[in-house]
Structure 1
Amino acid sequence: MPTVEVTSNPLTPSTRLRTAMRLTRWMAAHGSKAAHVVVSFRTAEPMAYFAGGMPLTTYEQGNDQAQEASWAHVVCHIHPDRDHAYRDELALEIAEALKVDLADAHLMVRFEPTRPDRVFYLHEGSITSGGPATAGRDREEGPEYARP
């Protein structure tokens, strides 16, 4: 299950929905099952996110919700077989989906390759994973749900 975890300034519900749909469609077009893509959003508390020692969240930050991210920290859990070109394209897609101005905004996208056997999910009433890793192999294929 590929996941995208976005921490940013407050975003409107419609902006979160638009972003989640765009990223889900992009991942589906690149081999993931749309139903298995998880996108989550977190709003950073005031004085909780710093870049270069300077706060990107301030005491004055209210509950005003923006149509776009003025800054974002994104963590993506993806299949370890995804190559650099995939990661590069996905990072750009995330920037465009969040409408982060690449010229002067702060954006960090970090990729965490995650083997399917390290992901557990509910399937037909049971908790399951992609299966145990086989000795001598990097990963186990596992059920369809855990594949990229």
Structure 2
Amino acid sequence: MPTVDVTSTPLTPSARLRAALRLTRWMAAHGSNAAHVVVSFRTAEPMEYFAGGMPLTTYEHDTEPGKHARWASVVCHVHPDRDHAYRAGLAEEIGQALGLGTDSAHLTVRFQPTQPDRVFYLDSGSMTSGDPLPVGPG
């Protein structure tokens, strides 16, 4: 169950939807089950995110949601077998989906390899990791 957790400047609901759909489609095109892709958004509070000791969230500039992020910090949980090319491609796609293609934009994307058997989700009223049950006693 690949996940993308985005913390950024405020985004409109439609900008979030566009980004989530674009990232889901990209992951599905690269072998993920689209129904299992999770994209979440969190708007940073003023004076919460700093780069080089300077705040990227300020009281004056972050009060109105936008169609594009001005900066974002993203954490992706993906299968440990995903290679560098996949991670680099996804990082590029995230930047484009969030509209962070300018020289003045700030974006960090961190990848956390996550074994599928360590992710549980609700399926038909029961928690499952999606992996088959082990064979044998126990």
Q: TM-score, normalization: structure 2?
A: 0.92
Give how far 1:62 is off: 4.4
Structure 1's consecutive aligned runs of 4 or more residues displaced over 4 angstroms after TM superposition are none
Contact conserved, 1:95 with 1:102, CA < 8 A, in 2? no
Does the alignment pair 1:67 with 2:64?
A: no
**What runs of 5+ residues in structure 2 fail to find an aligned partner?**
133-138
Does the alignment pair 1:38 with 2:23?
A: no
Give how far 1:102 is off: 4.2
Q: CA RMSD in A?
A: 1.1
Give how far 1:123 is off: 1.2
Q: What is the SS of the residue equivalent to 1:95?
A: helix
Partner of 1:136: none
Q: Deviations over 1:43-89 (max 9, x none)?
A: 00000000000000012244301110110000000000000000000
- Number of aligned residues: 132
- Aligned runs of 1:1-148 on 2, under 5 Å? 1-130=1-130, 142=131
Relative distance call for 1:109 and 1:102 in structure 2 (3 A) is farther
Q: Percent identity?
A: 73
Residue type of the alignment partner of 1:89: G
Contact conserved, 2:120 with 2:128, CA < 8 A, in 1? yes
Whole-angstrom distance in 2 between the partners of 1:24 and 1:115: 19
**What runs of 5+ residues in structure 1 fail to find an aligned partner?**
131-141, 144-148
Q: TM-score, normalization: structure 1?
A: 0.86
